[in-house]
Amino acid sequence: MTITVRFAPSPTGHIHIGNARTALFNWLFAQKHGGRFILRFDDTDVARSKQEYADRIQVDLHWLGIRPDVTVHQSARFDTYAAAVERLKAAGLLYPCWETPEELERRRGLRLARKLPPVYGREALKLSDEQKAGFEAEGRKPHWRFLLPNHAGDPFAPQRTEVHWDDVVRGPQTVDLASMSDPVLVREDGTYLYTLPSVVDDIELGVTHVIRGDDHVTNTGAQIALFRALAAEPPAFGHHNLLTTVSGEGLSKRTGALSIRSLAERGIEPMAVASLAVLIGTSESVSAVHTMDELAARFEPLATSKSAAKFDPAELDTLNRSIVHAMPFSDARDRLVDMGIEGDKAEPFWLAVRGNLDRLDEARPWWRIVTEGPEPVAERSMEDTAFLDAAFDNLPPEPWDGMTWKVWTDRLKQLTGRKGKALFMPLRLALTGREAGPELADLLPLLGRAGTLARRP
């Protein structure tokens, strides 16, 4: 069977680095096993789901390097869920309930006071046909609960019922179905909560591995029961720890600064985001990984910690720098062209400047410096002006290469007795207008002899 995973965001906002962790765990798992990746939009909440968010999620995943094999929308599959609802009703596993939230809360309080687990007591199963007809006559609509298989024939006498699975991230897991309430699958207004559509789709789309955040561990117990109620073998499950900020705060769709979109706009490289999103909270150290293949090779789901993965967004800048510094020209080329950096000089230029950049777009001012001229320099001392006169009078003859800088400055040392900073800083300032930057040995051949002479102050 082909390994099949899915990433199932609700398009109700922008995805953030924590969602990227889930998407990448799935993507890398599929990559490692030659599997398929489904992008499933959980958009059964039609009021809150927006096409613009779905579109942006696709853009963000593409930016991260994730290429779904299939994309599906739950909003186009309501008939399939309705058919599953009918099957469950016919099997007596989905029952109507009329409690209001206040009523449920009151009963919960009573159970707690009696030291009983605060789960739903299945009171709706005791309603007579007349009582139900009475509710209907009042125009009240029921919500529908799934009868968990945690009893031996008498639903009012639930018994400890363990569900086990071997989690591909957390190892062996156990959930007791008697410790939870029968989940509501369908609301009063006929809309679906997430539980049923997710299971139906996982069955129909042949999902073999459900990999998601560990906030879903308890759900999984109920969902495994639901798979079986629908006569399907449950898939394998994996639950990864969630990302939190250093102060332990969870990420939400409102964590704007950490949305994939804003990171991309800030010039953070996709592989910096992917490296952090995947490696944090695992036994691997977080370091810049340059390709998705390399990341897949380092990805070991079972090496993920069970506690929350605290991360510091400042790490993204460090990782980004490492990625830009080592980025081959072939990876940078198209983006450089978009900035107008092209032609014969583009490659040696990139190799000369990349080690000085925090972000790729910082190449832009350097290109201006190389092709147009230095940035303006504040006043120079008389001594430096005299030194520069001598320097420009003694430019080595062409051809110029990586050794030209050494030849030139060796000669200037002899001629002027200057060395160290006193020697190179006036030259750097004259050539670039900046006090720091790429190796001048690399810049000189790019400027050429004429281009260098033109910078004579």
Question: Cβ closer to ligand GLU: 235 or 437?
Answer: 235
Smallest CA-to-CA distance from 198 within 5, 11, 8, 2 is with 8
Measured at the CA of 218, the angle between CA 212 and CA 219, to 5 degrees, comes to 65
Given 5, 8, 272, 427, the residue binding ligand GLU (CB under 6 A): 8
Smallest distance, Å, CB 91 to ligand GLU? 23
98: tokens are: 């009329």
Smallest distance, Å, CB 199 to ligand GLU? 9
Question: Cβ closer to ligand GLU: 39 or 88?
Answer: 39
Given 4, 5, 9, 324, the residue binding ligand GLU (CB under 6 A): 9
23: tokens are: 């998407």
Given 29, 42, 167, 282, the residue binding ligand GLU (CB under 6 A): 42
Task: Give the distance, in angstroms, between the CA of residue 99 and the centroid of all CA atoms in the same chain.
Answer: 39
**Which of these ranges, 64-72, 84-92, 210-218, 308-316, lies near ligand GLU under the rule CB under 6 A?**
210-218
CA gap 25, 37 in Å, rounded: 11
Q: For residue 373, count CB atoms less than 10 angstroms from its CB and return exposed for 0-12, middle for 13-18, buried for 19 or more.
A: middle
What one-letter code names the amino acid at 223? Q
98 and 159 in contact (C-beta within 8 Å)? Answer: no
Smallest distance, Å, CB 211 to ligand GLU? 8
Q: Mark out the alpha helices in 205-303 (DSSP H runs).
A: 217-229, 260-265, 270-279, 292-298
**Which of these ranges, 168-176, 208-216, 314-322, 334-342, lies near ligand GLU under the rule CB under 6 A?**
208-216
18: tokens are: 């924590």
Smallest distance, Å, CB 304 to ligand GLU? 16
**Which of these ranges, 7-15, 94-102, 232-240, 389-397, lies near ligand GLU under the rule CB under 6 A?**
7-15
82: tokens are: 């309705």
404 and 448 in contact (C-beta within 8 Å)? Answer: no
Question: Cβ closer to ligand GLU: 227 or 329?
Answer: 227
Given 16, 36, 212, 418, the residue binding ligand GLU (CB under 6 A): 212
CA gap 424, 431 in Å, rounded: 10
Given 4, 31, 49, 198, the residue binding ligand GLU (CB under 6 A): 198
Q: How many residues bind to ligand GLU according to rule CB under 6 A? A: 9
**Which of these ranges, 4-12, 28-36, 86-94, 391-399, lies near ligand GLU under the rule CB under 6 A?**
4-12
Q: Mark out the alpha helices in 121-259 (DSSP H runs).
A: 129-137, 195-204, 217-229
- Is residue 10 a contact residue for ligand GLU (CB under 6 A)? yes
Map residues 105-144 to x or -, x wherever contact with ligand GLU holds by CB under 6 A: ----------------------------------------
- Is residue 270 a contact residue for ligand GLU (CB under 6 A)? no
- Is residue 49 a contact residue for ligand GLU (CB under 6 A)? no
Measured at the CA of 24, the angle between CA 19 and CA 29, to 5 degrees, comes to 135
List contacts with ligand GLU (CB under 6 A).
8-10, 42, 194, 198, 210, 212, 216
